[in-house]
Structure 1
Amino acid sequence: MSEMTEQEMMNNAFVEQICSSDGKGASIAFELRGTQIHVSIFPSNGSLTKDSRHLQPEDRPLQDHLIDALSRDSSGRPHAEHNVSQDEVLGAILKAGKPLFSQLTPKAPSCEPLTLHQILFAEILYFRLEGDSDPASVVPIEHEEAYNIGFFNRDTGQDFEEELDLCEDLPRYAPEDIVVKQVFMKGIKYVTAAVQVDGRDMFCKALGEPRQLRGCPEARELECLGKMLRAFPQQSSIRVPQLLGYVHDKDTKRILGFLRQWVPGQNLGDIYLAPIATEKKQKWISQIRESVQLLHEQGLVWGDAKPYNVVIDEKDDAWLIDFGGGFTAGWVDSQLVETIEGDEKALDRIAEFLGGNDDVVLIL
């Protein structure tokens, strides 16, 4: 089998995760021909990239330039600019790793659906970028040497799980017992997917390490869904997906994620609204407002309120999804993040969007 060219590698590489900090290091994880690859980038001086920022771009060490490029991706710049930096970094890494990466053998597709365990704990090849010499290269490393290794460390204490507000009467499932039907988002030891458990369709968000849950959107959503279940034990009382269970590690029993009701339908943001009857759109905004009001009466906040976090089901009813918090510019103001007032402002903008206001720009 012939080796892949750089362009072929670029076309077949799918970025799954980027980690960076201000000049201290970065990493990029991607899938290439079915193999998960994690490349760490460390400052040329072993400390910070700022020591070389006074140099002209052509004179800077490659590592420092790439770290700063990835760090800028978390600075709130437009998404299109993020893609420019991401493609530049990925291209440089694929070029440096071409002697190794181009020989990867495509993994044969399986006829059997994958389990959640196979995705969360897939083999990962770890490398470090060496950019001091020309041409740059990548060298294999152990996973303990990877940038942001705390993210991957499976050994975590029990304290954090005790902090989680769990519904103790809900069932817990091991990743080995969860069949993945459709993957919506995937990263290193992270997956959001439509799954099947004991023959029942569900929606799952799970991470490969309990430590990853600490302070992350999945932990907030897990707890919010639990509070909603207690506040609205009857499914018919509010149109939010019901929490059905937890994902836990088969050996350690630590919580890795959650399972909730699957709502077949379409995201409101994906629906072409022009031919939709005004009465139907009015029904949707009325249902959305009603659900949000019920949440607020229980002291709960939707958070990242926007059309893409509304599902219109097969009966044309509107459901709220995604309670991980945060905000999306254009829908929730940053100073109102995860507040009742923020929800209310977003509701007004969603109503304008449904009403055909051309000034409302749809942002993911």
Structure 2
Amino acid sequence: MKEINDKGYTVEYTIKIEDNGICLRVHCNGRAFDIEYGPQDLYNPANKTNPRALEQEYLDALHHIFGDDDDEPGQGMDVDDATDLSDPQDQLSSPDSSAMSECGYEESPVVAFTMAPFLSHGTLETFASKSSTPCLNTLHDVLHPPLFTFSLRVVEGTLVPVNQSPEKMEYVKPYDADVWKARHWRDYPRVKSRDIAMARNVSLLPNTNLVMFNNRICWFKPVIGGIDDAPYKREIDMLFRLRRKFKNLDKPLRFPQLEATVIGERREDMINGLILSAVYPNRGTIADQVEGRRGPSPSPSLCERWYREVEAMVHILHSEGFIWGDVSPNNMIIDEDENVWIADFGGGYTCGWIEPEDMETMKGDLEGLKVLKEYLLDVGPLEDAS
């Protein structure tokens, strides 16, 4: 998930590296910025009374996100558990929710601290002005934006961005996943990113996930760094089985269909992402609606209807031997007619919604339903959903 705000940039991921350092990847007007710095860069000798004030402010922001584990690198700011990896380039973690890419969010303190100098010094406008936005004609353009490298330093008492990009322009290399062990990955068209056009009105939207496939607007769900291959294999096989099982059944089960896989550039059994049928136009997710990110909060009667729809769909899945795997309001999309669609069959869990030990089980799905009922109907602790 990319974190979207109204300041003109999106944050793809935030990870902690060694010695309480931080690394962010930020996107703005068709460019990417890798920003890496740590406490050692924030000492301010110009502040005679408290030269470590910026350092302390940063560490407080870091603690707000990562808690008491400030000495453990490789943690990503994520709604799911972060993945610890040895190579910093592979320690990338972000929420794996295709629906969330259109959502707003409350900016984290560490992101706000990092981006404030970029905004006050006009760095984003200098390196990524709207007037010179690269043409995003194909999915390849979106997956390979120009990449700038920055750090933060205290210069004459002021925290400023420092450009550390090489002279030769670099471009982002998209992440890929190995899916050859998925049983049904060959049952779908395999396409190259260069051959997938972006939706015509993509420039008007706060995301670049809408693409054209078979003359229809579809949703591109990219491979996320820091996540192993299992969720993509699970989603491919789950969507194949769901389509086959429910194709001719008159049951109210609404979920995006898998249309194609976007093959990687290294090997054809590696993918850069999935092309899914889009719930488009839509009203965002249940989380968007309840938290007021897409207008006024929904009425109690509408919230109750949404809960009943999700409850019915989960029970339909279970009756046919399927497990959703990540019951979360961020994975529940509202269409134009205010009906709920369930999305993200890659498994995993969302903290606070499913117990880790119950991940990808029917019990976990029911735990998520119980929390959803509290979330939507604003009631106290409930008996287990059944």
TM-score (norm 1): 0.67
Decide whether the 8 Å contact of 1:202 with 1:261 is kept in 2: yes
- Give 2:272's aligned residue: 256
Match of 1:229 among 232, 243, 263: 243
Whether 1:274 aligns to 2:290 is no
- Please list the CA deviations of residues 21-61 of structure 1 after superposition, one character each: whole Å capped at 9, or x if unmatched: 3636321222456542212225749xxx9xxxxxxx94559
Aligned length: 321
- 1:118 partner amino acid: D
Decide whether the 8 Å contact of 2:140 with 2:193 is kept in 1: yes
Decide whether the 8 Å contact of 1:303 with 1:324 is kept in 2: yes
Cα shift at 1:198? 2.5
Structure 2 gaps of 5+ residues are 1-5, 43-48, 68-76, 80-103, 291-296, 382-386
- Give 2:25's aligned residue: 29
- Give 1:357's aligned residue: 378
- Rounded to whole Å, the distance in 2 between the matches of 1:336 and 1:117 is 38
**CA RMSD across the alignment:** 4.6
- What SS class does the counterpart of residue 168 from structure 1 fall into? helix
Whether 1:322 aligns to 2:344 is yes
Decide whether the 8 Å contact of 1:70 with 1:86 is kept in 2: no
Decide whether the 8 Å contact of 2:211 with 2:218 is kept in 1: yes
- 2:222 partner amino acid: A
Decide whether the 8 Å contact of 1:26 with 1:67 is kept in 2: no
1:164-243 mapped onto 2 (5 Å cutoff): 164-181=182-199, 182=202, 193-207=209-223, 214-215=228-229, 220-234=234-248, 238-243=253-258
Decide whether the 8 Å contact of 1:301 with 1:340 is kept in 2: yes
Cα separation, partners in 2 of 1:44 and 1:306, compared to 1, 3 Å? closer
Cα separation, partners in 2 of 1:137 and 1:154, compared to 1, 3 Å? closer
Cα shift at 1:167? 2.8
- Rounded to whole Å, the distance in 2 between the matches of 1:84 and 1:32 is 19
Match of 1:303 among 318, 325, 332: 325
- Rounded to whole Å, the distance in 1 between the matches of 2:109 and 2:241 is 41
- Give 1:140's aligned residue: 164
- Rounded to whole Å, the distance in 2 between the matches of 1:129 and 1:111 is 26
Larger relative contact order (Cα-Cα within 8 Å, sequence gap ≥ 6): 2
Cα separation, partners in 2 of 1:172 and 1:88, compared to 1, 3 Å? same
1:44-123 mapped onto 2 (5 Å cutoff): 44=40, 58-60=50-52, 66=58, 69-70=61-62, 72-75=64-67, 83-92=108-117, 98=121, 103-104=126-127, 106-108=129-131, 114-123=137-146
Decide whether the 8 Å contact of 1:242 with 1:261 is kept in 2: yes
- 1:243 partner amino acid: L
- Rounded to whole Å, the distance in 2 between the matches of 1:261 and 1:173 is 15
Whether 1:344 aligns to 2:344 is no
- What SS class does the counterpart of residue 180 from structure 1 fall into? coil
Cα separation, partners in 2 of 1:103 and 1:220, compared to 1, 3 Å? same
Greater CA radius of gyration, 1 or 2? 1
Q: Name the structure where helix makes up a greater proportion of residues.
A: 1
Cα separation, partners in 2 of 1:74 and 1:297, compared to 1, 3 Å? farther
- 2:22 partner amino acid: A
Cα separation, partners in 2 of 1:102 and 1:250, compared to 1, 3 Å? closer
- What SS class does the counterpart of residue 11 from structure 2 fall into? strand
- 1:115 partner amino acid: T
Match of 2:259 among 214, 239, 244: 244
Cα shift at 1:166? 3.8
Decide whether the 8 Å contact of 2:179 with 2:229 is kept in 1: no
- What SS class does the counterpart of residue 179 from structure 1 fall into? coil
TM-score (norm 2): 0.63
- Rounded to whole Å, the distance in 2 between the matches of 1:112 and 1:93 is 24
